[in-house]
Amino acid sequence: MNPNDNLINSTSVAIVSLDDTQRILWMNVSAEAMLSCSQRVASGQKIYKLFALPDQLVAQIKETLQTGQILINRKLEIPTRLRETVLVDCIATPIDLSSKNPKVLLELMNIDRQHKIATEQALLEQQERSQNILRGVAHEVLNPLGGIRGAAQLLEQELSGSSLTEYTQLLIKEADRLRDLLQRMLGSNSRPEKGANNIHEILGYVRYLLLNASPEQAHVTLDYDPSIPDLSCDRGKLVQVFINLISNAMHAVRGQTNPAITLKTRVERNFTIRGKLIKLVCKIQVIDNGKGVDPNLVETLFDPLVTGRSGGTGLGLSIAQSLVMQHGGLIDYYSKEQQTVFEVTLPIEDYVARASF
């Protein structure tokens, strides 16, 4: 193989050539970019020591050398030199097995983006199914509920002056409570009243509200990108979103030895939301070091009435997701390195002004 081969260096697939001891012989430009490591640094080093590869990949390379078969491993998390992980499909191909110097050619295809698109699509479909079910249930309940409330009011008039009116008042109060609950489950259907808003000002306002209201103080770290332009958004609705996410994080870190929350903002280019490529998005992460989400709830986390908190209604995340979707965005959840991350992605539609911090 010629390391200067323009064809191999021009492909987007990361290619790494290894000898029979798994030492790196050569890597193309895409592999250098993916693994955040130059060929000069990597050459001659054993790949599993340089990158702390998952056991499946180390075993795959050994098996390829022993059997001479092309092996494929899907959805492997490969650590880079920057301690980040990349999700890849890997093909290991044996080369020159009959010679004294057999080799393995690794092809690493970055599937992070495809995985995120598939996850996002599943999340959107789940949200849409939940909203459709809720609309049907709400319609079936709200109509008779209005009749029950009206009948209770008429009965109260007939019983004027009687001690029995306390029961009619209870009926009216509970009917109103159920109506409010159903409306909260449906979320706000009003269109966002968009204006130019600084996302860091919104986060600062919510942080101020919650820290002053909470008797237990968690250490909050701000990791802001000051270059983010103002967003075209409904300030009130985003305040509601981040009140939910940050208050959840504050609840999650209670009881931790060193409770910590990080609010992080970044810009990302060419991001896909609902199958549409957005040139520029703002990502806001609420990160905590709490015990994390119950694994049994992860798949239904954004469904209404799903909660892992005692006394919780299970409406907060569902409503927050609905409000963000009204802005053309999305809330996602994942765990990494013993941290819980809720990530809000919002399109940057208008470059109205530059954020100043």
Of 299, 298, 290, nearest to 338 by C-alpha is: 290
Q: What is the mean pLDDT of residues 322-328?
A: 87
Residues 188/323, Cβ–Cβ less than 8 Å: yes
Integer Cα distance of 336 and 341 in angstroms: 8
pLDDT digits over 237-292, tens only? 999 899 989 988 888 888 778 888 999 999 988 787 777 778 889 999 999 988 77
The amino acid sitting at 347 is P
Residues 340/249, Cβ–Cβ less than 8 Å: yes
Q: Which of 24-33, 306-315, 320-329 has the lowest mean pLDDT?
A: 306-315
pLDDT digits over 124-145, tens only? 777 677 767 767 777 777 778 8
Confidence (pTM): 0.60
Confidence tier at 42 by pLDDT (50, 70, 90): confident
Percent of the chain with pLDDT over 70: 82
Residue with tokens 């996302």: 199
